[in-house]
Amino acid sequence: MRRHIPRYKLQSVTNCWAQPHVDSRCNIFDRGFYRSVDVEWRIVLPQKNLSLANHLIATLPPLERAVLLAQSELVELELHAMVCVAGEISRHVWFPVEGFVSIILPVPAAADMAVAQVGPEGMFQTSAVFDVEHSAFHGRVQAAGRAFRMTRTILQQHLQQSRCLRAVLNRYGDARLSQLAQQTVCINHHSVEQRLARVLLMTRDRLCSNEIFLTHDVFSNMLGVRRESVTQAASAFQRRGFISYSRGYVMLLDEDALQSMACGCYEADLQTYERAFPAVATFPFDADSPVDVTSK
Ligand SMILES: [Zn+2]
């Protein structure tokens, strides 16, 4: 999931979601892509093949990918929507193609904590892969976009039939576990500034943009610290020219400096993912020939 920032432009537009186009090979293309990130602004990205926009789906052989997508629906991830509530039965799984969902751990008598992000590199509700019905986490959309959604039942049918899908999702589940363990180390051993730099870079990677629309409250939940601590760290970054920010908008100005500032957990997460998916680690994945990971 290496960093790659595509060329894009900002437009002030309303109600301009593009309708996806499906071609005869079951590939799904956008004719202009509009991501709702704010009331007034939309980010317009170049045309892309949605069939390959989620890394996990992209790794499947073309026929398996087409069959899986035929039994999925492309849904909007509305900003702040709860796609899953902890303790409840989760009936769906999501493979984001844009935006990201935060995995949130409810903390009794304290603020909930976002322990991970799931964007186009992954899936939300890995519990379904292990045939667990109840979710341990909330899933909240923190950056609007779209996702392929399917029922747990459909996913499990495919898992029984597809060795490749099993391999992909088992590898992803294992990588996810390693990244959660890394997060535990991060919270206990690294400074707020180091962790804020890491979170900014992680968010940039998933959004493919150096402009991020998130409030300090959201960063506070991601870092498990008070909002004032986030403001203090962000102000220090702004003074040093690393970022500029105002009211829920952050522009990354010096990404090299942020990478130098970030703790090693950022690079460790990338390496974990690249070990799991060595041939598709470049982000975004847009090759026409998916990789059968079971042959590795
Ligand atoms: Zn760390």
Sheet holding 249-252, edge to edge: 211-212, 249-252, 243-246
DSSP 8-state symbol, 52: G
Query: 21 C-alpha to center of ligand 1: Å?
Result: 41
Contact between 186 and 263 under an 8 Å Cβ cutoff? The reply is yes
Tokens of 81: 């929507």
Tens-binned pLDDT, residue by residue, of the chain (296 aa): 454 443 333 333 333 333 344 444 444 555 444 443 433 334 444 556 888 899 999 999 999 999 999 999 999 999 999 999 999 998 999 999 999 999 999 888 777 889 999 999 999 999 999 888 899 899 999 999 999 999 999 999 999 999 999 999 999 999 999 999 999 999 999 999 999 999 999 999 999 899 999 988 899 988 989 999 999 999 999 999 999 998 889 999 999 999 999 999 999 999 999 999 886 544 444 444 444 444 33
Show the 3-state SS of 157-193: HHHHHCHHHHHHHHHHHHHHHHHHHHHHHHHHHCCHH
Which residues, at least 6 apart from 59, have a Cβ–Cβ distance to it below 8 Å? 164, 168, 277, 279, 280, 290, 291, 292, 293
Contact between 223 and 229 under an 8 Å Cβ cutoff? The reply is yes
Query: 153 C-alpha to center of ligand 1: Å?
Result: 37
Query: 15 C-alpha to center of ligand 1: Å?
Result: 40
What domains are there in the chain, each with its CATH number? 9-295 (2.60.120.10)
Spatial distance between the Cα atoms of 163 and 182, rounded to a whole number of angstroms: 29
Query: 253 C-alpha to center of ligand 1: Å?
Result: 21
